[in-house]
Chain A
Amino acid sequence: MDALMNFGTGIFGGVWPAVWTLIKIVLIVAPLMLGVAYLTLAERKVIGFMQVRIGPNRVGPWGLIQPIADGLKLLLKEIIVPSSANKAIFIIAPMLAIAPALAAWAVIPFTDTLVLANIDASLLYIMAITSMGVYGIILAGWASNSKYAFLGAMRSAAQMVSYEIAMGFSLICVLMVSNSLNLVEIVNAQNSGRFADYGLTFLSWNWLPLWPMFLVYLISGTAELNRAPFDVAEGESEIVAGFHVEYSGMAFALFFLAEYANMILVSALTSIMFLGGWLSPVGFLPDGILWLFAKMSCILFLYLWFRATFPRYRYDQLMRLGWKVFLPICLVWLVVVGVWMMSPLNIWK
């Protein structure tokens, strides 16, 4: 590592730290994009198997080159801008959708040392950056100058703002018990406790004491992602394809990339907040980045499973779930956790 640093300083001189950060960003984003590509394939395969179909199997062995073919097709297609659309915003909207999805990865810790920016307020940063993802959708819907797209944008805006509240409250519980806003410390705080002393670390993770919050986070996460069964923003049967109905080619692909990058992001966040991140579930196995990937894969599989299983929520039911069910649960559990932490039964000392 030192040799690499010296080599870099020798070549780039003073700008080496900036170049090194750029290299690290590429090292995060490139595998992420690969993950996105193969997540689309996994989604089609998994849903195919659940519906007793085969799924894509023509391009390459077991359809393994399918995502590349899809990407190439979208790259070569023409981007059609509707004649009465607001051109500048129409083009900017997909960029605004994908930028937060990538920017949030800056603070995600892969292990306790493998993190691009280990800042103290990383949880706040994540909440701030992910809350900006909705602009891409709203602006796409508005700039398209189409009724269906606008309806999709309105639905999506209302939905994301509602579920962000429940999501924020469940994260507040997490930061209360781990006494930190730093994601690395949040994971490390899950490595101690009575069960961890017995070697059963997985029972010390946040999912068990914060079980209702874990469920709320998982479900609101699905809603924030606009994934089935909360995909009213797309709602093919009612509003064609929602906010991206006027998009084609790479502009459309960017919305897709943003959605899948966000899926991977939320699965990483769920693993870090509630499932102990890179910690191994039992004491006798070493911790490592592979555990994080395994946990993320399980949660991603859950999202695909949801999509194959549940019918789409009706819009009013969705609002009711967010405001009348999750919000009261969060408020009550927040007080419960607060009282628990102040009582002699506190397990997070």
Chain B
Amino acid sequence: MDFQTLVFFFLSAILIVASLRVITARNPVHAALFLILAFFTCGGIWALLQAEFLAIALILVYVGAVMVLFLFVVMMLDINLDRIRQGFWNYLPLGAVLGILMVLEMGMVLGSKYFQVPAADAMIPAGISNTKAIGALMFTDYVYPFELASIVLLVGMIAAIVLTHRGPKKSKYTNPNEQVFVKAKDRIRVLQMPVEKD
């Protein structure tokens, strides 16, 4: 067994244990932490497959940003474990159907060789790094799907803002612009007065 295989098995073992713990951990914060570990390990496996751009993007986007906010929310939640457990059997059929669907989809993709579907071969000229190749493809051959995806994301972003926006602020608040540009003479007026004597 060469070194790469060893690393692969090491990472996969961590990934499987971490993924299992995501759904079995009782404490939601622990579950979120195991999810972070799973993402990180997955990044490691992708780096091992020489997809360094995907690996780093996964860590940058999911571990560095999405999960931070997710953890932020999970920590603030008031979670009653007993109440969640009560609904377990009600949700089980739906969850099972979704799980079977996902397994089927993954099987179809991974088994494409078995079903004799010609898989798209990755053609990267030697000497060009993965990151460069993805960039070049994204802005030449796939520029329209790429732009479309960015517009979908933009729409999602605006939709989130619209859904949470509650109209103009009615409470009193300070305007930082005015605060920053305030001068001493706006706040205090020095008067010249003759001294009063009685």
Contacts and interface: CB of A to CB of B under 8 A. Distances in A.
Given A121-B131, A124-B131, A181-B131, A135 B68 contact: yes
Interface string A105-124: 00000000000000111001
Nearest to B128: A120
Given A128-B59, A142-B75, A181-B131, A164 B53 contact: no
Given A119-B52, A121-B56, A121-B131, A131 B63 contact: yes
A158 B75 CA distance: 13
A131 B132 CA distance: 23
A13 to B, nearest CB: 14
Contacts, number: 68
A317 interface: yes
Q: Tell me whether chain B's interface is mostly helix, strand or loop, or mixed.
A: helix
Given A142-B75, A316-B176, A132 B53 contact: no
Contact of B68 (A119, A142, A157, A317): A157
Given A89-B33, A142-B29, A320-B176, A164 B52 contact: no
A125 B176 contact: no
Interface string A125-141: 10111011011001100
B64 A128 contact: yes
B57 interface: yes
B71 interface: yes
B143 to A, nearest CB: 15
Contacts of A119: 52
Given A120-B129, A124-B57, A127-B60, A154 B52 contact: no
B142 interface: no
Interface string A84-98: 001001000000000
A62 B8 CA distance: 53
Contact of B129 (A121, A134, A138, A317): A121
Given A89-B29, A153-B75, 14 more contacts: A119-B52, A120-B52, A120-B131, A128-B63, A129-B59, A131-B65, A132-B63, A138-B72, A138-B75, A150-B75, A157-B68, A157-B69, A157-B72, A164-B65
Interface of B: 29, 33, 36, 52-53, 56-57, 59-60, 63-65, 68-69, 71-72, 75, 129, 131-132, 176, 179
